[in-house]
A and B are shown apart, each in its own frame.
Chain A
Amino acid sequence: MSSILREFWMFLRSERKWWMAPMLLVLGIVGAVAVVAALHPALAPFIYPLV
């Protein structure tokens, strides 16, 4: 996880594409929520309304 975040950070910095940062952040949050829901099925009903 940390390596992919580092790579995205390096990419944004070297390419100066800061406008992509909010999109990546949102995608990261959605992805994390999906992972949590997959790992803990009991939480899924509470997460579902959020996404």
Chain B
Amino acid sequence: MSSTGPVKILGISAWYHDAAACLVRDGEIVAACEEERFSRRKHDARYPRNAVEYVLREGGIDAGELDAVAFYDKPVLKFARILETFVSVAPRGIAAWMHFAPGWLKDKLWIESHVRRELPGFKGRLLFAEHHESHAASAFYPSPFEKAAVLTVDGVGEWATTSIAAGEGRDLRMLREIRFPHSLGLLYSAFTYWLGFKVNSGEYKVMGLAPYGAPKYADLIREKLIDLRDDGSFRLNLDCFGYLTGLRMTNRRFDAMFGRGPREPESPLEQFHMDMAASLQKVTEEAMIRLARHAMEIAGSRNLCLAGGVALNCVANGRILREAGVEGLFVQPAAGDAGGALGAALSAWHRYMGGPRVADGRTDRLRGSYLGPSYSDDDIAAALRDEGVAAAETCSEEELPRRVADLLASGKTIGWFQGRAEFGPRALGARSILGDPRDPEMQKRLNLQVKYRESFRPFAPSVTEEAAAEWFDLSAKSPYMLVTAPVHPSKRLPPEPGDASLAGIDRLRTRRSVIPAVTHLDHSARVQTVSYDVNPLYWKLLRAFEERTGCPVLVNTSFNVRGEPMVLSPRDAIRCFRRTQLDALVLGRRIVSRTALPPSPVPVEQGALALD
């Protein structure tokens, strides 16, 4: 450990899903970023070489100045769990074993030598936190709460799939856990697979599909698949799942229960699939609410921090906020495995090194999750030049929100690229695609002409913090877009004649509210509340749009196309702009209109895009 100066800890998550790196200096989060943003490979799990380089550069240090590197799980325990599982089901499971063993023997067991080889000059300690400890630390330590219950729910870590901890000051005590193979995350992933979406990626599509269906099968799921108890603990009926013995999430008994096999990816969605999504979502919400109540009860606090992949289920989070008796809720924005890098580093600082923690009860320490790289005016100018885009209008900082608000109010769709990139899967006004939520065609247009994705998926609104209560039934701030709330009744529209006769995806054509592009079928919206203190430029844009239209709400979706990670650099943004039918691109203070763009060398066809 370096003898003088602040303590610098590098957190790393890698080799499973969403590799990421984070730098913490004396407990302050300096930078954090997912590797996928640099490598342009979605959910890139490889060692995060580019992300590590970036966070060290942002901190102005080299690897030799690091005091410690913290890895987000314990590979030996995880390997032992896989081995033990294999033995318990042998000789079945040999295919799964043959699939997993090479990766373990080649990479995953040799973290220490790999990290030291990648970080020449690093002489400090390499620390390992348990997977759910990393998730819990990532949720509690940056939260505004001095004392809180911490609930983490995901697929699986070492053994734990769900854990409850109590956080107070710099202490984090693990209180309870549910162990593999009983896992709410794996249950959700099993249905994701069965409904024809990609596991570890398509779960949010299942959530988006749920409002189109009725929870007709919820009782069957509770009866046959999951024994859910009052305290939120549960056991799965393992006879119906394939993940213990093979490479499929579900098996024939699962198919027999619902009278059909898995849906082929990209095949038409039927009402049955929507009902299944609704049923699963209902059961998941019930489990999460019970777990949240129990966590707060045994931790002795009405503040709740959430992390783990299932904490990205914003519909469940919204219900927890409304129904679980929560006083304060903090959902860590990079709640999946990427956030493990943050949690491991913070756990090393507070738990291992005893570093102090300050919580003021109001402000979290993630600064809006704008923890990624930013690019200067010169970088933007160079990228425009290199990409052959000459005609860019440049505005003053004061003028920019007004000019962009004019474009949005006239129905234009905008690629918005500003400041430091977001850490976590949600675009929060740094790498966003923006549009007018009042336009009834906006959802369809953005889905099919810009994002090239399924038309059933809803978009999320950004709203100024001050106006949030007028537009949404929201009792707390939602800066990270991880809570859904109903659109305020005063903004809803009565059904039109003929609406009742629509079924399935056709129901998307109903108007529902005065901001139809961000209102889901059940009148819910995945809200981001924007404060002036955290992102003044984006806040000013919302205000400027309100001055023109009376509406302080914008459609905000991630700046990418289907199958691609969110853009990171100006060059990524220009290339993405070329592939879409966005009307304008705003890079810092420069505005590029589509008409100024040279013809795209690569015409986009929907089928040519990778599945997400």
Q: Which one, B80, B101, B109, B110, contacts A20 given CB within 8 A?
A: B80
Q: Which one, A1, A20, A34, contacts B83 given CB within 8 A?
A: A20
25 pairs, A vs B, C-beta closer than 8 Å: A1-B113, A3-B112, A4-B76, A4-B109, A4-B110, A4-B112, A7-B76, A8-B76, A11-B76, A11-B77, A11-B80, A15-B80, A17-B80, A17-B84, A20-B80, A20-B83, A20-B84, A23-B83, A23-B87, A24-B83, A27-B101, A27-B105, A30-B105, A31-B105, A34-B105
Which residues from chain B contact A7 at a C-beta distance below 8 Å?
76
**In the complex, residue of chain B having the shortest beta-carbon distance to the beta carbon of A4:** B109
Which residues from chain B contact A34 at a C-beta distance below 8 Å?
105
Query: In whole angstroms, how far apart are the Cα atoms of A15 and B109 in the complex?
Result: 19
Query: In whole angstroms, how far apart are the Cα atoms of A11 and B83 in the complex?
Result: 13
Which residues from chain A contact B84 at a C-beta distance below 8 Å?
17, 20
Which residues of A in the span 13-47 have a Cβ within 8 Å of any Cβ on B? 15, 17, 20, 23-24, 27, 30-31, 34
Which residues of B come within 8 Å of A, CB atoms?
A: 76-77, 80, 83-84, 87, 101, 105, 109-110, 112-113
Query: In whole angstroms, how far apart are the Cα atoms of A20 and B85 in the complex?
Result: 12
Which residues of A come within 8 Å of B, CB atoms?
A: 1, 3-4, 7-8, 11, 15, 17, 20, 23-24, 27, 30-31, 34
Which residues from chain B contact A11 at a C-beta distance below 8 Å?
76-77, 80
**In the complex, residue of chain A having the shortest beta-carbon distance to the beta carbon of B111:** A4
Q: Determine chain B's interface SS by DSSP, over half rule.
A: helix
Name the 10 nearest CB pairs between A and B, nearest first.
Answer: A7-B76, A31-B105, A3-B112, A11-B76, A4-B109, A8-B76, A11-B80, A23-B83, A20-B83, A20-B80
Which residues from chain A contact B87 at a C-beta distance below 8 Å?
23
Which residues from chain B contact A4 at a C-beta distance below 8 Å?
76, 109-110, 112
Query: In whole angstroms, how far apart are the Cα atoms of A8 and B110 in the complex?
Result: 12
Which residues from chain B contact A27 at a C-beta distance below 8 Å?
101, 105
Which residues from chain A contact B105 at a C-beta distance below 8 Å?
27, 30-31, 34
**In the complex, residue of chain B having the shortest beta-carbon distance to the beta carbon of A11:** B76
Query: In whole angstroms, how far apart are the Cα atoms of A22 and B258 in the complex?
Result: 43
Which residues from chain A contact B77 at a C-beta distance below 8 Å?
11
Which residues from chain B contact A3 at a C-beta distance below 8 Å?
112
In whole Å, how far is A19's beta carbon from the nearest beta carbon of chain B?
8
Query: In whole angstroms, how far apart are the Cα atoms of A24 and B84 in the complex?
Result: 11
**In the complex, residue of chain A having the shortest beta-carbon distance to the beta carbon of B74:** A7
Query: In whole angstroms, how far apart are the Cα atoms of A4 and B107 in the complex?
Result: 12
Query: In whole angstroms, how far apart are the Cα atoms of A22 and B80 in the complex?
Result: 13
Query: In whole angstroms, how far apart are the Cα atoms of A34 and B104 in the complex?
Result: 13
New A-B contacts (12) at CB < 8 Å, excluding given A4-B110, A20-B80, A30-B105: A1-B113, A3-B112, A4-B76, A4-B112, A7-B76, A8-B76, A17-B80, A23-B83, A23-B87, A24-B83, A27-B105, A34-B105
In whole Å, how far is B570's beta carbon from the nearest beta carbon of chain A?
42
Query: In whole angstroms, how far apart are the Cα atoms of A1 and B109 in the complex?
Result: 10
Query: In whole angstroms, how far apart are the Cα atoms of A11 and B109 in the complex?
Result: 14
Query: In whole angstroms, how far apart are the Cα atoms of A8 and B87 in the complex?
Result: 17
Which residues from chain A contact B83 at a C-beta distance below 8 Å?
20, 23-24
In whole Å, how far is B236's beta carbon from the nearest beta carbon of chain A?
24
**In the complex, residue of chain A having the shortest beta-carbon distance to the beta carbon of B109:** A4
Which residues from chain B contact A30 at a C-beta distance below 8 Å?
105
Which residues from chain B contact A23 at a C-beta distance below 8 Å?
83, 87
Query: In whole angstroms, how far apart are the Cα atoms of A27 and B521 in the complex?
Result: 54
Query: In whole angstroms, how far apart are the Cα atoms of A3 and B75 in the complex?
Result: 12
**In the complex, residue of chain B having the shortest beta-carbon distance to the beta carbon of A10:** B76
Which residues from chain B contact A15 at a C-beta distance below 8 Å?
80
Which residues from chain B contact A17 at a C-beta distance below 8 Å?
80, 84
Query: In whole angstroms, how far apart are the Cα atoms of A17 and B79 in the complex?
Result: 13
In whole Å, how far is A17's beta carbon from the nearest beta carbon of chain B?
7
In whole Å, how far is A16's beta carbon from the nearest beta carbon of chain B?
12
In whole Å, how far is B370's beta carbon from the nearest beta carbon of chain A?
37
In whole Å, how far is A25's beta carbon from the nearest beta carbon of chain B?
12
**In the complex, residue of chain B having the shortest beta-carbon distance to the beta carbon of A23:** B83
Query: In whole angstroms, how far apart are the Cα atoms of A23 and B83 in the complex?
Result: 9
Query: In whole angstroms, how far apart are the Cα atoms of A7 and B113 in the complex?
Result: 14
Query: In whole angstroms, how far apart are the Cα atoms of A30 and B83 in the complex?
Result: 15
In whole Å, how far is B326's beta carbon from the nearest beta carbon of chain A?
36
**In the complex, residue of chain A having the shortest beta-carbon distance to the beta carbon of B126:** A3
**In the complex, residue of chain A having the shortest beta-carbon distance to the beta carbon of B86:** A23
Query: In whole angstroms, how far apart are the Cα atoms of A13 and B314 in the complex?
Result: 42
Query: In whole angstroms, how far apart are the Cα atoms of A15 and B159 in the complex?
Result: 13
Query: In whole angstroms, how far apart are the Cα atoms of A16 and B198 in the complex?
Result: 38
Query: In whole angstroms, how far apart are the Cα atoms of A40 and B110 in the complex?
Result: 20
Query: In whole angstroms, how far apart are the Cα atoms of A14 and B520 in the complex?
Result: 51
**In the complex, residue of chain B having the shortest beta-carbon distance to the beta carbon of A34:** B105
- Among the interface residues B77, B80, B112, B113, which one has the most CB atoms of the partner chain A within 10 A? B80
Query: In whole angstroms, how far apart are the Cα atoms of A28 and B84 in the complex?
Result: 16
**In the complex, residue of chain B having the shortest beta-carbon distance to the beta carbon of A30:** B105
In whole Å, how far is A3's beta carbon from the nearest beta carbon of chain B?
5
**In the complex, residue of chain A having the shortest beta-carbon distance to the beta carbon of B105:** A31
Which residues from chain A contact B109 at a C-beta distance below 8 Å?
4
Which residues from chain A contact B80 at a C-beta distance below 8 Å?
11, 15, 17, 20
Query: In whole angstroms, how far apart are the Cα atoms of A20 and B86 in the complex?
Result: 11
**In the complex, residue of chain A having the shortest beta-carbon distance to the beta carbon of B112:** A3
**In the complex, residue of chain B having the shortest beta-carbon distance to the beta carbon of A12:** B80
**In the complex, residue of chain A having the shortest beta-carbon distance to the beta carbon of B80:** A11
**In the complex, residue of chain B having the shortest beta-carbon distance to the beta carbon of A8:** B76
In whole Å, how far is B590's beta carbon from the nearest beta carbon of chain A?
51
In whole Å, how far is B612's beta carbon from the nearest beta carbon of chain A?
35
Query: In whole angstroms, how far apart are the Cα atoms of A3 and B125 in the complex?
Result: 12
In whole Å, how far is B109's beta carbon from the nearest beta carbon of chain A?
6
